[in-house]
Amino acid sequence: MKFYEYRAKEVFQRYGIPVPKGLLVVSSEEVVSPPLPAAVKAQVLVGGRMKAGGIAFAESLKEARRATSRILGMEIGGYGVKKVLLEERLEIERELYLSMTLDRSARTALLMASPDGGIDIEQVPGERIFRSPIPPLVGIQPYILRGLKEAMGLPKELGRSLSAIAEALYRLFKGEDAELVEINPLVVTRGGGLVAGDAKLILEDNALYRHPEYQGMEQDLTVLEREANQKGIAFIELGGNIGVIANGAGLTMATMDALHVHGGRPGVFLDLGGTDDPETVKEAFLLMMKARPRVILLNIFGGITKCDTVALGVQEASEVAGAEIPIIVRIRGVNEERAREILREAGMTAVLDMGEAAKAAVQQAGE
Amino acid sequence: MKFYEYRAKEVFQRYGIPVPKGLLVVSSEEVVSPPLPAAVKAQVLVGGRMKAGGIAFAESLKEARRATSRILGMEIGGYGVKKVLLEERLEIERELYLSMTLDRSARTALLMASPDGGIDIEQVPGERIFRSPIPPLVGIQPYILRGLKEAMGLPKELGRSLSAIAEALYRLFKGEDAELVEINPLVVTRGGGLVAGDAKLILEDNALYRHPEYQGMEQDLTVLEREANQKGIAFIELGGNIGVIANGAGLTMATMDALHVHGGRPGVFLDLGGTDDPETVKEAFLLMMKARPRVILLNIFGGITKCDTVALGVQEASEVAGAEIPIIVRIRGVNEERAREILREAGMTAVLDMGEAAKAAVQQAGE
Amino acid sequence: MAVLLEEGSNVVVQGITGHQGRFHTKACLDYGTRIVAGVTPGREGEKVHGVPVYDTVAEAVENGEADTSFFLVPAPFAKDAAIEAIEAGIRLLVLITERIPFHDALDIVSYARFRGTRVIGPNCPGIISPGKSKVGIMPGHIFRRGRVGVISRSGTLTYEIVNAITESGEGQSTCMGIGGDAIIGTNFVEALRLFQEDSETERIVLVGEIGGTAEEEAADYIEREVTTPVVAYVAGQTAPPGRRMGHAGAIISRGRGTAKSKIAAFKEAGVSVAALPSEIPTLLSSL
Amino acid sequence: MAVLLEEGSNVVVQGITGHQGRFHTKACLDYGTRIVAGVTPGREGEKVHGVPVYDTVAEAVENGEADTSFFLVPAPFAKDAAIEAIEAGIRLLVLITERIPFHDALDIVSYARFRGTRVIGPNCPGIISPGKSKVGIMPGHIFRRGRVGVISRSGTLTYEIVNAITESGEGQSTCMGIGGDAIIGTNFVEALRLFQEDSETERIVLVGEIGGTAEEEAADYIEREVTTPVVAYVAGQTAPPGRRMGHAGAIISRGRGTAKSKIAAFKEAGVSVAALPSEIPTLLSSL
């Protein structure tokens, strides 16, 4: 779950990470006594806000209102801007980068920092990035903070503030079940302090049950993605015109790979999870119909449920949805032949081989 | 560092462990509105307070004053009672035992509990004691608390309170660097609550630097033990008449063993630590003189310092202290012969062999 | 000798009284797995398909000499139950459970290593040594005893591939689903080491997918240490960046974790790479 | 082959710029120990007796290929420095430091086991393989290369005993001071296992003392697993209960940890027990 900047900064404050004074508004009328001079920032979850013109600077109330009003009318990355954050503009001496994330290979949390903040970390050369795994079970240690301070080359007093912020970042990472928490830039102000200029926070979805306070928090999701979310189905809208449903993430991706090999383009990725439960298949089918693909390709490798039972579920679902588009089904498992019969009788294309199914789907989608 | 019951209970309260309402006094005049009926308890660090008559019960203010006055006049285990704790008397339904300590073999913290509280845990049969190691690095887990509740056989609501107390006990054990924290009895009251009837808390001396708030806390120490403590010397008064000084805990104990084999009884155990630093030897000597042993046996196995240098230190110390009692020195290491010469010239018995030294000491002590 | 799981493995099912627990206990018993005990706190004394249920793993170890856990405990209780199993002396912990927070998974796999317990998963179908024992939720009938080792981040895709291998006339020594999460107890390199050392495994099939760099590390390891021939497939060749493709671990983020990079690494290490799962049997027989 | 410490061991001195650090670095260098680096944060670039000083253990490992740490860091900073060493890849961590809080020691030894690092100590004189290498504060000149292994909870008492062994004409394979604290990284049983496996060790001297039950466990282990003959001595036969006899671990509490119980356990296990340290050489030669 991604956090808007202003929400991430609320969390930062709780953990003692300094943030600029700010005012959140949903309309320019609310801009009455903003901090001045101000940075006026669109609150969106997608990247590239700066490039899209979603950040402006204002010296006066009038300018602040005008910028707010302009930004509230924008669309960035396909999403309308609904909230604007007005912050005191920082006097920037230097910009650092600081983040805590997961190192999957090392199976540890990973502290990353760079003296070259303010730009995308991927554009910073490797030797300018300080990386330190956090020892699992025992957590962040003073030697790591010493290394961090050394690498950032700050004067003593600021080094101490940096240590405190890094420790807070780690506590936040653990305490909020984050998968990424990033401060970029971490601003060294002319006044000699450290302030989080921006704030990026992503919580791990699997741990959201431990954080009821964030339930219902706004996310940039399409209507269908939201619906899939609620049903616990992995549903991703892509660029193509073939709706892919399969059971299991690997199998769904492999089905997309097969389409690709045959020159097709998936329009929706829909993973049922490991299940072949007919009820879930039906639900998924109905959801897929709403995405209006040109063809649906259903690929089930049955483990638990008998294939004919799954086939009956598919038949029922296509009837309920009144599907008038071609449906290609590839189903393997116990009673697979009976299943194919059922599906063919219901007017679908039922095949045995995954490649064949992909080819059929690509053909139909192209017609 | 041992805590008086009332101080341990202050710590308990900070961690959310329920304790009875109480009033600490140093004179019976302070007993004005004690909780009634009251348990009137001598505050001492040694065990056997109950047997010694250091606990009384009072129904009225008058009784409370009288009991306080009587107990303040007592001496328990050689120490005068200086403080008395008056507590609301608990209505006892059942008494449990609960403690957190160290399992040296398993290298873990150890939770111990018994449904047979109120008596010394060593008198409880093994099968009535619940023991659970606390997994290192990850800490106490719900499965341990489930096991604890099961073993204590409490009704559900009390089981929940017990879990909370056990968790608090673990937090306290870690947070305060305790080596033992014990609640015996943990009282199940008639009203259906759990309350710590008594409280035992020992902090690990090596970690005291992390707890400046306890510095200078009263301890039952003799004047000499207190002086040794301050100098970082391990000094223990025993029953015999031979003062043993050696460098290193193992060597000091072995020297005592040698005395024992020859029929002698050590009066003081004084371990210089691993050092053979002449200054420390001198300090130790002066301290030992104050304990007035009949003989001093000094056993040094030199590692770092040359023996003659150590011998000069010993000579100087005995002169400063004006020692008129026999001193037997056994010293091994570089320049050991020269060292023996120096010591003999100063009127001491200087030998090569540890057994010989012990024998000489026992002889002199017996004369 | 198979990998990790043998006929003699004594299995405890953690979470045996749940719907999944009952169902898969039956399926494993039918397969021939030696299930000696089940655990569900508060349900001691019950039986599930004849298997005695205990409150604690310690009792399952004591009374049934359990050494392997078939772990089906729901995610919110997984860390507690996993540490309980490790402390009770379980040697092989097969975490089927999906959606365990990775902060918990980190603690579990670290603690297991501290205590010397092997963890497979979480979010995996389990492990099967065909004809010997099955500790997992895979359909047993598609497997056949043989000499191909299978290591996979996937569930049903593994069944798909195993089925194709079996239909081509080959059997499997051991199939290990290592799990689709970002943090897993046994990664490709560690699994490869086990299969390389296994006398029954003559060829290895490795099924990877987008996300992370485990496949790149596997390729590097294969080049340096693995003499057993390997066929690989990497799912997700068309996956867009920044989207989580079903598995928690299947995400291309910050330019890392693309199928392209993984396939290139395998090819560079001399590993045969299948463009689609269906090519695997052919590549296997050409080794 | 000696135990844990060989001529080829590359040693980093943690805390090299302190008084103790300088002194013992010199003594070890004189003995022939391969000291490749020292570490004191903030002192990078200095040299101590020709040994380069770094800010971090990672640099010592990178530049000096250090695998062994001679650890002299003061107690309040020990946990941090020990975990740094473990994370940097040190394989043998010899903790000389006294007075480390046992809660810290617990974390250190647990974390070391998680990462596969061997810890000796804390509160120990170190380890020496005479004629090969010395990582510790013991006086090198009393040792002599030979075939007696020595394992001891003590410092100077070990020197006393080693000196007697050397004077009797015998030498030592390796002498390991395991430390006088309640929580130590390598206990008697673990040390015995190493010496039992060591081809250079033909007889073992075990020096115990009051406190804990490590000697009783050692006796049990010797009876079951150790074929190398063992001579034991237990210090503190007259120590009163409840008093800490110099070492943090040397305390008889709640009826456990008496010398009597330990001596009885050794005798029952067929171990020769010396009444006084001076008897050890005689007992050794009678084995």
The CA–CA distances, whole Å, from D231 to B329, B342, D190, D278 equal: 28, 36, 17, 12
Which residue in B130, B125, B122, B202 sits closest to B162, CA to CA? B130
Q: What is the fold, at CATH topology level, of the domain defined by A92-212? A: D-amino Acid Aminotransferase; Chain A, domain 1 (3.30.470)
Whether the ipTM is more than 0.85: the answer is yes
> Which residues, at least 6 apart from C224, have a Cβ–Cβ distance to it below 8 Å?
none
Residue A272 clears pLDDT 90, i.e. is over it: no
Contacts of B313 (CB under 8 A, 6+ apart): B278, B279, B281, B282
Average pLDDT over residues B97-102: 97
Which residues, in sequence order, are CB contacts of B363 under 8 Å at separation 6+?
Answer: none
What pLDDT, on a 0 to 100 scale, did the predictor assign at position A225? Answer: 85
Entry field: residues in chain B? 367
Whether A219 shows a pLDDT value over 90: the answer reads no
Co-location of D171 and D212 in the same domain: yes
Secondary structure element (H or E) that encloses residue A114, with its range: strand A108-114
Alpha-helical (H) ranges within chain B are 5-14, 61-72, 142-152, 156-175, 223-231, 249-261, 278-290, 307-321, 336-345, 354-366
Clarify whether B182 is annotated catalytic.
Answer: yes
What residues of C are in contact with residue A181 (Cβ under 8 Å)? none
A165 band by pLDDT with thresholds 50, 70 and 90 = very high
Per-residue model confidence as pLDDT tens digits over C21-49: 999 999 999 999 999 999 999 999 999 99
Q: Can you give the length of chain A in residues?
A: 367
Q: Across the B/C interface, how many CB contacts are shorter than 8 Å? A: 29
In this structure, what CATH number is given to the domain that contains residue C47?
Answer: 3.40.50.720
Least confident of A46-50, B257-261, D79-83, D261-265: A46-50
Contact (CB<8Å) D84/A136: no
Q: Is the dihedral of CA B147, B151, B154, B158 positive or negative?
A: negative
Residues 6+ apart with CB under 8 A from B165: B17, B18, B98, B183, B186, B194, B196
The average pLDDT across B300-305 equals: 81
Instruction: State the CB neighbour count (10 A cutoff) for residue B192.
Output: 11
Rounded to the nearest 10 degrees, the angle between the axes of helix C156-167 and helix A249-261 is 60
The DSSP code sequence of A241-266 is SEEEEESSHHHHHHHHHHHHHTT--E
> B143–C107: do the CB atoms touch at under 8 Å?
no
Query: In sequence order, what DSSP letters do the residues of B112-140 get, joined into one string?
Result: EEES--SS-GGGS-GGG-EEEEEPTTT--
Residue among B174, B249, B256 minimizing CB distance to D238: B256
What number is the average pLDDT over the span D29-37?
A: 98
Residues D81 and D32 occupy one common structural domain: yes
Nearest residue of chain B to residue C44 (CA atoms): B150
Are residues D158 and D93 located together in one domain of the fold? no
Return the residue of A nearest to B137 by Cα: A137
Chain C positions in Cβ-Cβ contact with residue D114 (cut-off 8 Å): 110-111, 113-114
- How confident is the model over C108-150, as pLDDT tens digits? 999 999 999 999 999 999 999 999 999 999 999 999 999 999 9
pLDDT at A304 over 80: no
Q: Are residues C107 and C189 in the same domain?
A: no
Q: pLDDT of A101-156, one tens digit each?
A: 999 999 999 999 999 999 889 899 999 999 999 999 999 999 999 999 999 999 99
* Cβ–Cβ < 8 Å for C158, C150: yes
**What percent of chain A shows pLDDT beyond 90?**
72
What is this structure's pTM?
0.94
Tell me the pLDDT band of B225, cut-offs 50, 70 and 90: confident
- Is D134 within a domain? no
Number of structural domains, chain C? 2
| Mutation to test the A interface, candidates D39, D83, D104, D115, most A Cβ within 10 Å | D83
> What pLDDT, on the 0 to 100 scale, is given for residue A323?
66
CB neighbour list of residue D65: distance below 8 Å, 6 or more residues apart:
D10, D36
Q: Could you tell me the CATH number of the domain that includes residue D221?
A: 3.40.50.261
- CA B118 to mean position of chain CA atoms: 21
Q: Which two tokens stand for residue C271?
A: 């590993």
Q: Is the pLDDT of residue A74 over 70?
A: yes
Distances (CA, A) of D249 to A170, C214, D182, D212: 35, 45, 4, 7
Does C75 contact A234 at a Cβ distance shorter than 8 Å?
no
Closest CB to A253: pick one of C141, C235, C249. Answer: C235
C211 and C258 in a single domain? The answer is yes
Instruction: Please indicate, yes or no, if residue C3 is contained in any of the structural domains.
Output: no
Distance of residue B172 Cα from the nearest chain A Cα, in angstroms: 18
D111–A138 C-beta distance less than 8 A: yes
Q: Which amino acid is at C107?
A: D
Q: How many whole angstroms separate alpha carbon C209 and alpha carbon C235?
A: 4
Same domain, C69 and C175: no
Q: Which of A3-7, A342-346, C52-56, D165-169 has the lowest mean pLDDT?
A: A342-346
Q: CA A265, CA A247: separation in Å to the nearest integer?
A: 19
User: In terms of DSSP bridges, do strands D145-152 and D172-177 run parallel, antiparallel, or are they unpaired?
Assistant: parallel
C214 and C160 share one domain: yes
C-alpha closest to that of D102 among D249, D2, D222: D249
Tokens of D162: 């080693």
Q: How many CA atoms lie within 13 A of A281 on its CB side?
A: 29
- The catalytic residue positions of D are 247
Cα first-last separation, chain D: 22
Given pLDDT bands bounded at 50, 70 and 90, which one contains residue B323? Answer: low
By CB atoms closer than 10 A (0-12, 13-18, 19+), residue A262 is middle
**D281 in a domain, yes or no?**
yes
Domain boundary among D120, D155, D182: D120
Same fold, B21-88 and B223-366: no
pLDDT of residue B367: 63
Alpha-carbon span B48 to B40, nearest angstrom: 15
Which residues from D are below 8 Å from A136, CB to CB?
114
- Asked whether residue C2 is assigned to any structural domain, the reply reads no
Domain end: C60, C90, C120, which one?
Answer: C120
- Percent of chain D exceeding pLDDT 90 equals 95
In a domain, C5, yes or no: no
Count CA atoms within 13 Å of residue C38 on its CB side. 28
Domain ranges, ordered by start, for chain B: 21-88, 92-212, 223-366
pLDDT band at residue A199, thresholds of 50, 70 and 90? very high
State how beta strands D172-177 and D126-129 pair: antiparallel
Please give the order of strands across the beta sheet that includes A22-25. A22-25, A84-88, A38-42, A55-58
Contacts 24+ apart (CB under 8 A), D237-243: D237/B253, D237/B256, D237/B257, D237/B260, D237/D263, D238/B256, D238/B257, D238/B259, D238/B260, D238/B266, D239/B253, D239/B256, D239/B269, D239/D210, D240/B236, D240/B238, D243/B236, D243/B269
Neighbours of chain D (3+ CB pairs under 8 A): A, B, C
- The class that CATH gives domain A21-88 is alpha beta
What does the radius of gyration of chain D's CA atoms come to, in whole angstroms?
Answer: 18
Residue B239: count of CB within 10 angstroms of its CB: 9
Does C235 lie in the same domain as C196? yes
Residues C230 and C278 in one domain: yes
pLDDT for A305: 76
Structure tokens belonging to residue B269: 């155990």
Residue D265 has pLDDT above 90, yes or no: yes
Q: Which residues of A touch B137 (CB under 8 A)?
A: 137-138
Interchain CB distance below 8 Å, C56 and B147? yes
pLDDT at B224 over 90: no
Q: What is the predicted pLDDT for the residue at B229?
A: 81
Q: How far is CA D124 from CA A223, B160, D128, in A?
A: 67, 44, 12
Reference B102, options A107, D184, D52, C240; nearest CA is D184
Separation CA A251–CA A262 (nearest Å): 17
Domain B223-366 has CATH 3.20.20.70: no
Q: Quick one: pLDDT at residue A367?
A: 62
Is C138 in Cβ contact with A174 (below 8 Å)? Answer: no
In the set B6, B97, B176, B336, the catalytic residue is B97
pLDDT digits (tens, 9 = 90+) for D133-182: 999 999 999 999 999 999 999 999 999 999 999 999 999 999 999 999 99
DSSP A86: E
Task: Kindly tell me if the per-residue pLDDT of B304 is higher than 80.
Answer: no
Whole-angstrom Cα distance, residue D106 to residue D183? 6
CA distance A162 to A159: 5
Contact D209, D236 (CB under 8 A): yes
Chain A residues lying within 8 Å of B138, measured CB to CB: 137
Is C96 a member of any domain?
yes
Q: What are phi and psi of A42, to 5 degrees?
A: -65, 135
Band the pLDDT of A78: cuts 50, 70, 90.
Answer: confident
Please say which residue of C71, C88, C120 terminates a domain.
C120
In the predicted structure, residue B314 carries a pLDDT above the cut 90: no
Do C78 and C158 fall within a single domain? no
* pLDDT above 90: residue B115: yes
pLDDT band at D1 (very low <50, low <70, confident <90, very high): confident
* pLDDT digits 0-9 by tens, A48-62: 888 899 999 999 999
Sheet holding D272-274, edge to edge: D133-136, D126-129, D172-177, D145-152, D203-209, D230-235, D272-274
Q: Which helix (H) or strand (E) holds D230?
A: strand D230-235
> In the block, which residue shows the tokens 């830039």?
A185
Contact criterion met (CB below 8 Å) for D4 and D127: yes
Mean pLDDT of D234-239: 94
The pLDDT mean for chain D works out to 96
Say which residue, B177 or A280, is predicted with more confidence: B177
Q: Are B25 and B83 within 8 A, CB to CB?
A: yes
**Cβ distance of C55 and B146 shorter than 8 Å:** yes
Which of B137, B141, B150 is the closest to C55 by Cβ?
A: B150
Q: How far apart are CA C262 and CA A105, in angstroms?
A: 14
Among the partner residues D103, D157, D233, nearest to B177 by beta-carbon distance: D103
Residues with Cβ within 8 Å of residue C85, at least 6 apart in sequence: C12, C14, C57, C69, C71, C93, C117
Which tokens in the block code for residue C83? Answer: 């540490």
The range of the structural domain enclosing residue D73 comes to 11-120
C-alpha distance from A156 to closest chain C C-alpha (Å): 33
Q: Active-site positions of A? A: 97, 182
d(CA C275, CA C269): 16
Domain presence at residue D2 = no
**Spatial distance between the Cα atoms of C136 and C33, rounded to a whole number of angstroms:** 10
Contacts D80 to A, Cβ<8 Å: 141-143
Q: Are strands D272-274 and D230-235 parallel, antiparallel or unpaired?
A: parallel
Q: Is D87 in contact with A146 (Cβ distance < 8 A)?
A: no
Q: Is residue C129 part of a domain?
A: no
Question: Are the beta carbons of C114 and B137 separated by less than 8 Å?
Answer: yes
